[in-house]
């Protein structure tokens, strides 16, 4: 069983969501990815969401662009934590996606990340933090990741000395 489900509304969202995949792989977190459109595949989306716990998932990362209903509709259909990633759109540079995901009604939360690559990276880190509550290996991976970021920052600063 996989700990994290990565769901995107369209295969065109993969370039953004690949950043989540890359981080989860780097951290050694088990995941599975899906393409499920809230608008074109509503029955499949509901089925996936209602069965996510039984399928072993602990966290769902949902990336969507444009109207971006996917994260909210998944959150409405499961009690698992859902992390929304606004995918940058051509027409409004992802602001439409961000506002769609972040404007959830009370009682149906979606942890919303920033638009695009940084949001996808942070979604994977947040999902790992959630899973690390009960997984020492994930905790160690996160500590190593933070140390590597620190060391890279220190090293890059030395280049200006």
Which amino acids are annotated as binding site for substrate, given as ranges?
10, 13, 40
**Dihedral sign computed on CA atoms, order 26, 127, 98, 67:** positive
Annotated binding site: 10, 13, 40
CB proximity list for 71: less than 8 A, separation 6 or greater: 62, 63, 64, 82, 83, 84, 85, 101, 110, 112
Say how far apart CA 141 and CA 72 lie, in whole Å. 29
């Amino acid at each position: 069983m996989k700990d994290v489900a990565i769901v995107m509304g369209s295969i065109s969202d993969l370039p953004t969501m690949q950043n989540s995949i890359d981080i989860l792989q780097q951290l050694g977190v088990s995941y599975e990815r899906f393409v499920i459109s809230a608008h074109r595949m509503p029955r499949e989306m509901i089925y996936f969401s209602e069965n996510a716990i039984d399928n072993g998932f602990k966290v769902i990362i949902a990336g969507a662009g444009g109207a971006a209903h996917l994260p909210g509709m998944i959150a409405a259909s499961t009690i698992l934590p859902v992390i929304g990633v606004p995918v940058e759109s051509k027409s409004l540079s992802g602001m439409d996606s961000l506002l769609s995901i972040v404007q959830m009604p009370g009682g149906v939360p979606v942890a919303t990340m920033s638009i695009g690559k940084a949001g996808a990276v942070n979604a994977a880190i947040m999902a790992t933090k959630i899973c690390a509550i009960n997984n020492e290996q994930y905790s160690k991976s996160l500590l190593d990741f933070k140390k590597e970021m620190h060391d890279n920052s220190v090293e890059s600063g030395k280049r200006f000395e």
